[in-house]
Amino acid sequence: MAANDGDEAVLSLVDVLEEDEALEDEACAVLGGSDPEKCSYPEGYVKRQALYACNTCTPKGSEPAGICLACSYKCHEGHDLFELYTKRNFRCDCGNSKFNGFECKLFPDKDKVNVSNKYNQNFFGLYCTCKRPYPDPEDEVSDEMIQCVVCEDWFHGRHLGAISAECTELQEMTCVSCMNKCPFLWYYAAHMAGRLVSEGFYFGDFFRKSESLRSVFCPQVTTNGDSNCKRKLSVNDDAGCNSNSCKLQKMKEGGLSPKSSAVYWPQSWRSNLCTCHNCKKFYADLEVPFLVDESDTVLAYENKGKIIQENNQENRDPLLAALSSMDRFQQLEMIHEYNDLKAELKDFLKRFADEGKVTVVFVFKMVKV
């Protein structure tokens, strides 16, 4: 329960603990898919991993560089780091030629440059079309940041030119710049992007109602609603229901979505991209073959992290990321005490909840130690 006492927001201890647990789960999902002890460099260009940029070692004006989770702990403790969330197909740069003699403590034998790494303004702590830091001390507008699934830059919702409908089915976003670099996506957007949800249609309902869209994804559906096709929407194959058809070619007959804003996609959108031979080659030429890779999504990465955490109880608690200024002994002591306290508080407060009693209300303030 939350209440207002004057100008201060008041939360019950139960609220604080529940919020803390939700944040801990999110951190486990993001960090759990990356190894906190070993530099990821020997793994090559990792499909997706948590990355950081060190503003201390590679400030603005120098060459951009990214470091893995383990190096952020072991090599750059106490440095000014930018948290980049996750990036795809990246190899750890820590200690290479971009670091001017700084040597990686975990894996110093690195090539001078990782030629296949891709960088953007995020590596210097800048985001969005406004090219501002996040959080921005000069920005008084409360706004969430959303990551583009193609370029992996982060954008303020208000700067995307599109309003996302409040719908849990909307999972990913493509910024307008990337939409124009991959113009074939405008055809898919015309049929199944988030704007349809904002107009009162859910993707599944629209598919059932739209004759043109049914003919693209399942050409054997008849006009009276009967069908001999057993293919499900979530299944993707090289030929679709008709081995001679290409979904994209059929979509081109239906016209383009207005090319004016970012596009929000429903959860199933990637599985409905055409995977015929020509389209796969097209994706490769545009350097977006990952769009038809089911394991590429951030959601898949987070699920992997959760599974790792569940199956390996000895994994380091992600709370250590927030305690990076402490040495290892202090970190372990703090986490041990914190976990004991949290467990005892939950057991204590549960008794009151079971009896329907109101618990004591506290005011919390976060302080920097």
Q: Please tell me which residue, 203 or 263, carries the higher pLDDT value.
A: 263
Assess contact for 12 and 3: CB atoms under 8 A: no
Question: Which has the closest alpha carbon to 14: 310, 353, 355, 366?
Answer: 353
Own/partner long-range contacts of 350-355 (Cβ < 8 Å, ≥24 apart): 353/14
| pLDDT higher than threshold 80 for residue 213 | no
Please, what is the angle between helix 13-31 and helix 298-311, to 10°? Answer: 100
129 pLDDT band (50/70/90 cuts)? very high
What share of the chain has pLDDT > 70, as a percent? 64
Task: Compute how many other C-beta atoms are within 10 angstroms of the C-beta atom of residue 241.
Answer: 18
| pLDDT higher than threshold 90 for residue 279 | yes
pLDDT tens readout for residues 143-164? 888 999 999 999 999 999 877 6
Q: Please tell me which residue, 205 or 58, carries the higher pLDDT value.
A: 58
Tell me the mean pLDDT in the region 34-52: 94
What pLDDT, on a 0 to 100 scale, did the predictor assign at position 345? 80
| pLDDT higher than threshold 70 for residue 347 | yes
Tokens 């990355």 appear where?
A: 51
pLDDT tens readout for residues 2-20? 444 455 555 555 565 566 6
What pLDDT, on a 0 to 100 scale, did the predictor assign at position 96? 97
What pLDDT, on a 0 to 100 scale, did the predictor assign at position 154? 95
Q: Are strands 81-90 and 67-68 parallel, antiparallel or unpaired?
A: unpaired
The Cα–Cα gap between 167 and 102 comes to 47
Task: Compute how many other C-beta atoms are within 10 angstroms of the C-beta atom of residue 310.
Answer: 11
What pLDDT, on a 0 to 100 scale, did the predictor assign at position 23? 64
Strands, E, within the chain: which ranges? Answer: 2-5, 8-12, 46-54, 67-68, 81-90, 145-147, 154-156, 170-174, 263-266, 361-362
| pLDDT higher than threshold 70 for residue 238 | no
Q: Please tell me which residue, 216 or 173, carries the higher pLDDT value.
A: 173
Tell me the mean pLDDT in the region 297-317: 71
